[in-house]
Structures are given as C-alpha cells and as structure tokens.
Amino acid sequence: MLSVPNTVFEDEIKWYTTEPKRGQLNYTLADQLLEFVRRNQITVRGHNIFWEDPKYTPGWVQNLTDSELKSAVNSRIQTKAGTKCHTGILQDSAPKDPLATLFLNEFNVVESSDSSSTIDKYISKMMELKEDGMSINGIGLEEVDISDTFSKETQAIYLEQVLREGFSHPGVDGIMLWSAIRRNKCYRMCLTDPDLNNLPTGDVVDKLLKEWDTGVVKGQTDEHGSYSFYGFLGEYKVTASYGGKVVDAAFSLSRSDETKHFSLQLPVTST
C-alpha cells in the first residue's frame, strides 16, 4: 500500500456515507483515511461531490422538495434541482478549492446499454455547462471492467492492455483502479488476495508503475552548465553540486509539446 503514489477512496467521502441521516454528519472514517495518506505522502484523488442517479444518494434526500434539496446540496458544499443543477454545483463548489480539477463523470455510457445514459446526452450536458459559462477541466470515462469470469492470469493480460492503451493516449491525464484492494470480494477484479499479497493483476500494476517512473537520473553538465534528460510527467527532486556546494530543488514536469527548462543557481564564494 505504501508504495502506491496516489489513491482514491471508494465510498468513504460520498454523501450517503458522510450524512446517512439528514443533519447527522460523520466524517470520522474519511478523516482517518485522509490522515493516513497524508502522513504517508500519498496523493488523494477526490470522488465525488454529488451523484445524480437517485439510487446513489442518501435515502432521505429522495423525499425532499426542490427547495429542501437545494438547501441540502448547498449545505454539503459548505461543510466539507432541475436541469441547471450541475451549473450551480460547479459554481458553488469550485471556489472552495480553486486548485481542484473539475471532472464531469459519465455513468453507464461505456459499461452498459442504459437508455438514460447515452453519448448524446453526455455531450449535451457538457455543452449546456459550457453555455452557462462553466469550465470543465476533464471528463471521466468509466468504466472498463475486467470480468471476474476470467482466470486471474487472463485478467492480468487484459488489465495490462487497458492500462497501456490509456497511458499512451495523449488525452488521458489519469487512470483510477476502482475497488481493487479489499480483504473481501472486490468489484470484478482484485489486485491482491485477502492477505494483501499480489495477484497477477497486482504484479501488472507494480510492473507498469516501475516502467512508467523515470527513476534516478545522474549526469554531468556540459560546458554551458546544461544537462538534459527525458522523463515521465510528474514531480522531480534535483540535487546539483559544484565545488563543494550543493543545492536541492524541486520542479514539476507537466504536459507540453516544448522542451521544459529549469534553472538552478549554485552559490559562488568570492575569492
């Protein structure tokens, strides 16, 4: 677990978990999980603020009037409807975390032939938000399930194909594995057994995480004081030394068609 660079909680921060009864907030489990990952320097991806499908909202929400529903939604945003409700949610929630990347997730468009979830409706919702002046930073495509009718070895083969396809696509910024580590039965596919030992699928994930990590790069600058390397996107720590002087720095390598340039200044002792 501690070798994983980032994680996403399954249900622990969803509305039906944190407020199972109206007005009775309980973030105990969510806070414990957040404290654990922060202590171990694991990045957390959020999921989700609201789920439009009624069966995935708290039971008490479904009997609210329009005004009561709006009040309940606003209350959840403040503490940790209609066709325009998505715009209001984005307008109210974005200022709470200006650095957050806002996604509009689809549901059942890819996975099943749900008559209420179609590609046209998904695109229409995105266009509606755009017309209302809202900026969506990304869209979620889910989900690509590896059937549990396959053997563990076959699941691993298909998982690697899916992960490589996603990683190689220039439009994909992240991949999340859902409910893949559990002591009890996972949803479709597990990465580990009940004792948290890797299954073949877990070996695939570990292999690709290692393959897609730049690792430690060492080298010497040229006569102009420059040093170049190829690296995967992500966070980097740099140590430069010259004449007994050492400087540590950090930089982020993000998506770009151009070469990234970073400068380090080494202190020079006057003689």
* Beta-sheet pairing, 138-140 with 245-253: unpaired
Q: Which residue, chain included where needed, has tokens 């996403």?
A: 8
Cα distance from N-terminal residue to C-terminal residue, the chain: 52
Contacts of 123 (CB under 8 A, 6+ apart): none
pLDDT bucket at 90, cuts 50 / 70 / 90: low
Cis peptide before 143 (omega within 30 of 0): yes
Lowest-confidence pick of 24-33, 50-59, 211-220: 50-59
**Residue 82, pLDDT score:** 42
63-91 mean pLDDT: 71
pLDDT above 60 (res 259): yes
Nearest to 53 by CA among 65, 45, 61: 61
225-248 mean pLDDT: 90
Q: Which pLDDT tens digit goes with each residue over 1-21?
A: 446 678 888 888 889 999 999
Q: Are 106 and 120 in contact (CB under 8 A)?
A: no
**Residue 155, pLDDT score:** 95
- The two most distant CA atoms of the chain are separated, in Å, by 79
227-237 mean pLDDT: 91
pTM: 0.71
Q: Which pLDDT tens digit goes with each residue over 168-226?
A: 998 888 888 876 777 777 878 889 888 888 999 999 999 999 999 999 999 999 999 89
What does 141-189 look like in DSSP terms, one character per residue? -------TTS-HHHHHHHHHHHHHHHHH-TT-------S---SS--SS-
SS3 250: strand
The residues that bridge with 101 in the sheet, in sequence order, are none
Alpha-carbon gap, residue 42 to 39, rounded angstroms:
8
58-64 mean pLDDT: 90
* Beta-sheet pairing, 103-105 with 138-140: parallel
Contacts of 125 (CB under 8 A, 6+ apart): 86, 104
**Residue 257, pLDDT score:** 82
Token reading at 186: 């996972």
Q: Which residue, chain included where needed, has tokens 């009940």?
A: 194
Contacts of 12 (CB under 8 A, 6+ apart): 29, 30, 33
